[in-house]
Amino acid sequence: MKPSPEEIDVSIEALKSGDRAAFARLVEQTSTAVYRVALRILGNEQDAEDVLQETFIKALQSLPQFEGRSSVKTWLYRIAVNEALMLVRKRRPDAVSIEEPDPNDDPMEGESLEIVDWCCLPEHELLTSESRKALDRAVQRLPQNLKVVFLLRDQEEFSIKDTAQMLNLTEAVVKTRLLRARLKLRQELSHYFGEKVNPSTQQEDQSHV
């Protein structure tokens, strides 16, 4: 089951009129996703909780200025991602802003490709708690500028256009960073599962381009 990309079932008019029940429904419907994104960006439960709370406080404060040019969901995630990235910068002042151009925005530069056909492994070997942890660690290790794009696009299933809008990036840069994030994660998983694939097969298939 994928995280649901469902639209939020709360009207902008109700939120803007100060309807508390409507705001509570918004929190109910979106808090898990906001926490999930914050936790993955920050890698720390306490920080993720702080971002979760700040996101809804900021949302409440900025509702009067919300003009409805984007969906409520995009607007809310934008606040959440900004809050999370502000905390990242506070924790690590030397961190590069994700809006900075990255020389590695040239996609294939420096990427190696491990060729292991692990898709043939049975499902119960693919999705174990150990493999989940390996995948989570791989996501945590992604450079922040790639990680945020990956989380919004592949975890939360926003379009390239919405992801670009939320991060103040061009769609071309979002696509490039998404490709690099996916290549890196694929590479790490190939390495992880490579040890589980029949060693003789692995020897035969493994090569680099």
Partner 1 sequence: MSDKGHCCHLLKEISDYIDGELPAEICADLEKHLQECNNCRIVVNSMRKTIELYQDSAAVDTLPADVKKRLFYRLNLESYLLIPGEKKE
Contact set with partner 1 (CB under 8 A)? 1-3, 20-21, 23-24, 27-28, 31-32, 35-36, 39, 45, 49, 52-53, 56-57, 60, 107-108, 113, 115-119, 126-127, 131-132, 135-136, 139, 154-155, 160, 175, 178-179, 182-183, 185-186, 189-190, 205, 207, 209
Dihedral, CA atoms, 91, 40, 31, 66, nearest 10 degrees?
Answer: 60
- b/e for 10-38, b at 16 or more Cβ within 10 A? bebeebeeeeeebbebbbebbeebbbbbb
Residue 198 C-beta: closest distance to partner 1, Å? 15
Complex with partner 1: residue 82 or 190, whichever CB lies closer: 190
Compute φ and ψ for 11, nearest 5 degrees. Answer: -80, 145
Residue 45 C-beta: closest distance to partner 1, Å? 8
Of the candidates 75, 49, 74, 50, the one whose C-alpha atom is nearest the C-alpha of residue 61 is 75
* Six token digits for residue 81: 């991602």
Residue 114 C-beta: closest distance to partner 1, Å? 9
Complex with partner 1: residue 78 or 184, whichever CB lies closer: 184
